[in-house]
Amino acid sequence: MLSKSQARAFFLGGTVVTFLIFIGLTIYSFMPSNDQTNFKDIDKNVVRGKEIWESNNCMGCHSIMGEGGYYAPELTKVIERRGEGYIKAVLMSPAPWAPKGRKMVAYKMSQEDADAMVAYFKWIGKIDLNGFDRIVSPLAKDKLKDQQKIQ
C-alpha cells in the first residue's frame, strides 16, 4: 500500500510525465518537416475552391477524406481519377451530370469558379493520407476487385 505522500508523489509524477509526453508529441506533429498538408501550396484559388465547396454544401452528397455524404463519389483523389478536364465539364455543365443515374447538381460554374474548384482538388489530392484507405466499405472493396478481374 502506498502512503498518502507516496500516492501524491505518484499522482504528480505521473501527471508531469504524461503532460511532457503530450507537449513533446504536439511539437513533433507541428514540425515543418512533418507537414502532411502542403500548407505552403494553399493559394487564393485553393481558398476560393474551399469556399465554393462549403457554401454549396458539396459534402451533403460527396465526401472528402471520408467526411461527408455517401450519395455521390468520394472526391479526395478525384483529380488523379478523372483529370482536370472531366471535373470542369461536370462543374460547368448546364444539365445535371448523371452518366450513372444519380444526378449531380447542374452548377453551370464560371471558368474562374471551376478553376478554383480544380485548384482545391489538386491541393487536397496531394495531402499525405498516411496510408488511410478512402474505400472503407467491404461491399465497395469487393465491387472494385470484381471490376479489376473483368478488366
**Footprint on this chain of ligand HEC (rule: CB under 6 A):** 52-53, 56-58, 60-62, 71-73, 75, 78, 81-82, 87, 90-91, 97-100, 102-105, 107, 117
Nearest distance in Å: CB 115, ligand HEC: 12
Q: At what angle do helices 84-92 and 111-125 cross, to 10 degrees?
A: 140
CB 90 within 8 A of CB 45: no
Q: How far is the CB of 91 from ligand HEC (least distance, A)?
A: 6
- Taking alpha carbons only, the member of 95, 96, 112, 110 closest to residue 61 is 96
Nearer to ligand HEC, 25 or 47 (CB): 47
Q: Please say which residue, 58 or 119, places its beta carbon nearer to ligand HEC.
A: 58
- In the three-class reduction of DSSP (H, G, I as helix; E, B as strand; rest coil), residue 67 is classed as strand
Q: Pick from 60, 78, 69, 74: which is nearest to 123 by CA?
A: 78
CB of 7 to ligand HEC, least distance (A): 57
CB of 136 to ligand HEC, least distance (A): 17
Query: Which is closer to ligand HEC, CB of 6 or CB of 57?
Result: 57
Least distance (Å) between residue 24 CB and ligand HEC: 39
In this complex, which beta carbon is closest to ligand HEC, that of residue 8 or of residue 103? 103
Nearer to ligand HEC, 42 or 61 (CB): 61
Cα distances (angstroms) measured from residue 90 to each of 31, 102, 119: 38, 13, 15
Residues 114 and 137: their CA atoms lie apart, in Å, by 30
Other beta carbons within 10 Å of 28: 10
